[in-house]
Amino acid sequence: MNLTHHTDYLKLESVLLKPVTNAFRSEELLEAQWDALHFLAKPDLKKAINEYSEFIEIFENHGVTIWNLPVKAGLSIDSIYCRDASVATDFGMILCHMGKPQRISEPAAQKEFYEQHKIPVLGSITAPGTLEGGDIAWLDKHTLAVGHTYRTNKEGIRQLKQLMEPRGVEVIVAEMPHYRGPDDVFHLMSVFSPVAEKLAVVYSPLIPISFRKELIGRGYDLVEVPDSEFETMGCNVLAIGPMKCIMVKGNPVTEKRLKDKGCEVFTYSGDHISRMGGGGPTCLTRPLQRSF
Q: Which tens digits make up the pLDDT trace of 105-128?
A: 999 999 999 999 999 999 999 999
CATH classification code of 3-291: 3.75.10.10
Whether the predicted pLDDT of 174 surpasses 90: yes
What span, in angstroms and rounded, lies between the C-alpha atoms of 52 and 19? Answer: 8
According to the 3-state scheme, what is the secondary structure of 140-165? ECCEEEEEECCCCCHHHHHHHHHHHH
What span, in angstroms and rounded, lies between the C-alpha atoms of 202 and 191? Answer: 5
- Provide the 8-state DSSP code for 206: G
Strand segments, DSSP code E, in 54-191 are 65-68, 86-89, 92-95, 121-124, 136-140, 143-148, 170-175
pLDDT digits (tens, 9 = 90+) for 32-42: 999 999 999 99
What span, in angstroms and rounded, lies between the C-alpha atoms of 30 and 77? Answer: 7
Percent of the chain with pLDDT over 90: 99
Show Cβ contacts of residue 213 under 8 Å, excluding neighbours closer than 6 positions.
none
Whether the predicted pLDDT of 47 surpasses 90: yes
- Please tell me the predicted confidence (pLDDT) of residue 1: 83
pLDDT digits (tens, 9 = 90+) for 83-92: 999 999 999 9
Planar angle of CA 196, 276, 228, nearest 5 degrees: 60
Show Cβ contacts of residue 22 under 8 Å, excluding neighbours closer than 6 positions.
68, 69, 70, 71, 72
Please choose, from the candidates 99, 88, 149, 162, the residue with its C-alpha nearest in 3D space to the C-alpha of residue 127. Answer: 99
Instruction: Report pTM.
Output: 0.97
Whether the predicted pLDDT of 247 surpasses 90: yes
- Which amino acid, one-letter code, is at 134? G
- Please tell me the predicted confidence (pLDDT) of residue 158: 98
- Please tell me the predicted confidence (pLDDT) of residue 218: 97
C-beta neighbour count of 14 within 10 angstroms: 17
